[in-house]
């Protein structure tokens, strides 16, 4: 059996593909996988993740639909047909039985090419509000899997099924003791995990640095800055050198799978963006969280994701414009001081955990082949 995986743009697209690939190899004894991505944004993350799981990679050109004026818009518009032509060639050479698309602009040419060849496609939508790429992919897909019930309205109901968001198995296998040993975390000190996702989040990084002199006196902070933000954050930290308790601050550009799982396991509170992958991983670990949506995320999907989780009483949501030093410090203190609030978040967030999401998606892929 040959299956093509496609999707790209961020870690939120890549890691679910890995989760589904793992499940495919569990359920199908002889399966051949190929990932078709793009040399655009985050391709290094995708290449590294696929190589780690022995999945060959083919890259194509594609264009990103921008929500602002840019001369790149005209170049990107021309790249899409080029990407479709490349995808037609790759699919003709490989001729898969099915395509699993995680969305993102990298998936559009592949899905269209698969539709031309009548290769069945299953597309997965992670967010409450789909982006343009998945709205296009959904029209060319035989089935659509969604992570939030509210997303169903954007696709044909008869081919849409709620599966939740697939996450890597390792995200459920963290070890708190290993985290304490690796990062020198005191057993009696609360732990806060801060992560803005694979690309980092400048607003969150800056807000954390501002409160770090006081915060590091009371808690241990594990701060995943994002690779592109790490050096800048270190320069900011240097300005507070004498005020920060370095023993209680761990700063890393990026957390690999095991480290991220261990960080989830040891943390008492997570602060980050409400990307669908983050919400799924937080839910899997029953972790209380403060979610800070990106003020200008595509289709406002982060704000809608956060609204859905916050409305369920599963997290505290803060607008990016309201994370000044005093407000953020006050909200962190409120959550850490209230065992009842943390228990409420931990209990309510489980409704966003779908442990069988990879199994359901693989079942959907296999069903298309019958």
What average pLDDT does the chain have? 91
Q: Does the pLDDT value for residue 287 go beyond 90?
A: yes
Domain 170-352 coded CATH 3.40.50.2000:
yes
Looking at residues 68-89, what average pLDDT do you find? 77
Q: φ and ψ at 145, to 5 degrees? A: -105, 140
pLDDT digits (tens, 9 = 90+) for 180-233: 999 999 999 999 999 987 666 889 999 999 999 999 999 999 999 988 899 999
So what's the pLDDT on residue 52?
93
Looking at residues 57-61, what average pLDDT do you find? 92
So what's the pLDDT on residue 40?
64
So what's the pLDDT on residue 80?
84
Residues 126 and 103: beta-carbon distance below 8 Å: yes
So what's the pLDDT on residue 311?
96
Looking at residues 15-43, what average pLDDT do you find? 90
So what's the pLDDT on residue 197?
72
Q: Does the pLDDT value for residue 89 go beyond 90?
A: yes
Angle (CA) 113-28-114 rounded to 5° is 5
Q: What is the pTM of this model?
A: 0.91
Residue with tokens 């990106």: 294
Q: Residue ranges of the alpha helices (H) in the chain? A: 11-27, 43-52, 72-94, 108-116, 132-139, 176-183, 202-215, 230-239, 257-266, 276-284, 301-311, 325-337, 339-348, 357-368
Q: Where in the chain is the domain with CATH 3.40.50.2000?
A: 2-166+354-368, 170-352
Q: Which two tokens stand for residue 9?
A: 């743009």
Tell me which residue of 323, 318, 337, 342 sits closest to 219, measured CA to CA: 337
pLDDT digits (tens, 9 = 90+) for 317-326: 999 888 887 8
Give how far Cα 138 sits from Cα of 81, 115, 131, 157, 302, Å: 18, 11, 11, 11, 20
Dist CA 17 CA 101 (whole Å)? 8
Dist CA 281 CA 257 (whole Å)? 11
Residues 229 and 204: beta-carbon distance below 8 Å: no
Residues 195 and 272: beta-carbon distance below 8 Å: yes
Looking at residues 111-134, what average pLDDT do you find? 95
The pLDDT > 70 percentage for the chain reads: 92
* Per-residue pLDDT band at 61 (split at 50, 70, 90): confident
pLDDT digits (tens, 9 = 90+) for 252-276: 998 999 999 999 999 999 999 999 9
Domain 2-166+354-368 coded CATH 2.40.128.110:
no
């Amino acid at each position: 059996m040959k299956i093509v995986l496609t999707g790209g743009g961020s870690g939120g697209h890549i890691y679910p593909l890995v989760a589904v690939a793992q499940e495919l190899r569990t359920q199908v004894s002889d399966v051949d996988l190929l990932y078709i991505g793009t040399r655009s944004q985050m391709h290094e993350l995708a290449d590294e993740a696929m190589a780690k799981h022995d999945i060959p990679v083919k890259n194509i050109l594609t264009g990103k639909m921008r929500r602002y004026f840019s001369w790149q818009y005209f170049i990107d518009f021309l790249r899409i047909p080029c990407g479709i032509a490349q995808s037609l060639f790759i699919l003709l050479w490989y001729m898969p039985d099915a395509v699993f698309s995680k969305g993102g602009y990298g998936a559009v040419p592949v899905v269209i090419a698969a539709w031309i060849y009548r290769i069945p496609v299953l597309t997965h939508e992670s967010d409450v509000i789909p982006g343009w790429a998945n709205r296009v992919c959904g029209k060319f897909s035989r089935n659509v899997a969604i992570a939030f019930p509210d997303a169903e309205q954007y696709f044909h109901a008869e081919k849409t099924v709620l599966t939740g968001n697939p996450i890597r198995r390792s995200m459920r296998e963290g070890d708190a003791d290993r985290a304490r040993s690796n990062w020198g975390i005191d057993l009696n000190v609360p732990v806060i995990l801060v992560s803005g996702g694979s690309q980092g989040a400048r607003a969150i990084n800056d807000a954390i640095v501002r409160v770090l002199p006081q915060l590091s006196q009371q808690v241990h902070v594990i701060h995943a800055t994002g690779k592109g933000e790490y050096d800048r954050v270190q320069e900011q930290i240097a300005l507070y050198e004498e005020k920060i308790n370095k023993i209680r601050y761990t700063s890393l550009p990026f957390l690999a799978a095991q480290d991220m799982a261990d960080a989830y396991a040891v943390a008492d509170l997570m602060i980050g963006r409400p990307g669908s992958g983050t919400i799924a991983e937080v839910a899997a670990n029953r972790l209380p969280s403060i979610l800070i949506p990106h003020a200008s995320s595509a289709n406002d999907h982060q704000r809608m994701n956060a609204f859905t989780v916050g409305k369920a009483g599963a997290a505290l949501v803060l607008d990016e414009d309201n994370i000044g030093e005093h407000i953020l410090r006050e909200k962190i203190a409120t959550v850490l001081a209230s065992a009842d609030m943390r228990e409420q978040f931990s209990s309510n967030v489980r409704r966003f955990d779908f442990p069988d999401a990879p199994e359901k998606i693989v079942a959907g892929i296999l069903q298309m082949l019958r």
